[in-house]
Structure 1
Amino acid sequence: MNLNKIVDACKVEMAPPGCPNIFPPPKPTPVVTCNLVKDEVCGNIEQPCDGSFVEYWRVVGLPVLPSGTVTVYNGSDCIMSVRAVIQGSLIDLFTITEKNQTKAVTVSGIESLDVQCLGGATGATCSGRFCLTLHYQKDCVEEVFE
């Protein structure tokens, strides 16, 4: 029996009975479904106006880093510098120079938020508020449909 003639007579898509299937059937592609979550994390800023950075928020336990908007309000006479770790890099986000001023920025892949306060009178306290509106995936499940 000439195997080449049998293989030539068989179509790739579906092997008829008696023909060898030379191509394995395609494997189903898994589909990942996740719940999209929106959280708001807010807190007060209160620290010495001495130039040191204070960490106010850090992501913990999420397999995918969140995206979202960082908003900071300066309620003091100190100058606020706001930075964040974004996708592994330390980034200066913005500086707030005036009392009662608010600034915001939207970022992707935020890991932490730090604030530095400078200026003001000797021994001055820097005060304000931060809010993070975060969007991230949670409870992801891989399903295979056949």
Structure 2
Amino acid sequence: MKKSCGCCPDKIFLTDEVCGNFTIGCDDSQIVWQSVSSLGGSPDFLTPVQGGTVTVFFDRGCGDLTVNVYKNTVLVSTFPVPDNPQSSTGNTRSRTILSDFDTVEIVCGETGDTGAFCTGKFCITAHFCLR
């Protein structure tokens, strides 16, 4: 049974935002974020991630990106970030995840060009509550 912080005044929410850059080879993937709980530990006073938002900005690369969000290696959400080669400003997509998650992976599309890369930025806003 999933614990929920609810909206009672005696529950305290914590929000953490992690942002970074990625460079991933064509036809490859990279885990860009993992929660402490997915690595086998978590502070006793903190619940696992209760939901959040994943945003990916795709600057340039090989075909489309795919963003995969997992909980205990089970896929809970996936979304594409299309390549936009005619744009000089790239492309951004966000997805709000309403369930627990612990891992975010970005998959770079394939073009057969082994020397090319997908580049961009990501931000993950994760919501926790104190136990």
Same fold, judged at TM 0.5 (above): yes
Match of 2:95 among 85, 99, 105: 105
Pair member with larger Rg:
1
Number of aligned residue pairs: 107
Per the alignment, residue 72 of structure 1 pairs with 56
What one-letter code is carried by the residue in structure 2 that aligns with 1:71?
A: T
| Displaced runs of 4 or more, over 6 A | none
What is the identity percentage for the equivalent residue pairs of Structure 1 and Structure 2?
30
Q: How does 1:1-146 map to 2 (within 5 A)?
A: 33-49=10-26, 51-60=27-36, 61=42, 62-78=46-62, 79-86=64-71, 89-99=74-84, 100-107=90-97, 108-120=99-111, 121-138=113-130, 140=131
Question: CA, structure 1 residues 67+87, in 2 after alignment: closer, same or farther (shift >3 Å)?
Answer: farther
Counterpart amino acid of residue 117 in structure 1: C
Partner deviation per Cα, 1:9-30 (whole Å, 9 max, x = no partner): xxxxxxxxxxxxxxxxxxxxxx
TM-score by length of structure 2 reads 0.71
Cα RMSD over matched residues? 2.1
1:48–1:123 CA contact under 8 A, matched in 2: yes
TM-score (norm 1): 0.64
Which consecutive residues of structure 1, in runs of 5 or more, have no partner in the other structure? 1-32, 141-146
Q: Which has the higher contact order (CA 8 A, sep 6+)?
A: 2
Counterpart Cα distance in 2 of 1:103 and 1:47: 18
Q: Give 5+ residue unaligned stretches, structure 2.
A: 1-9, 37-41, 85-89
Q: Per-residue displacement from partner, 1:57-110 (whole Å, max 9, x unpaired)?
A: 011025333310000010113221110103652245111122311111111211
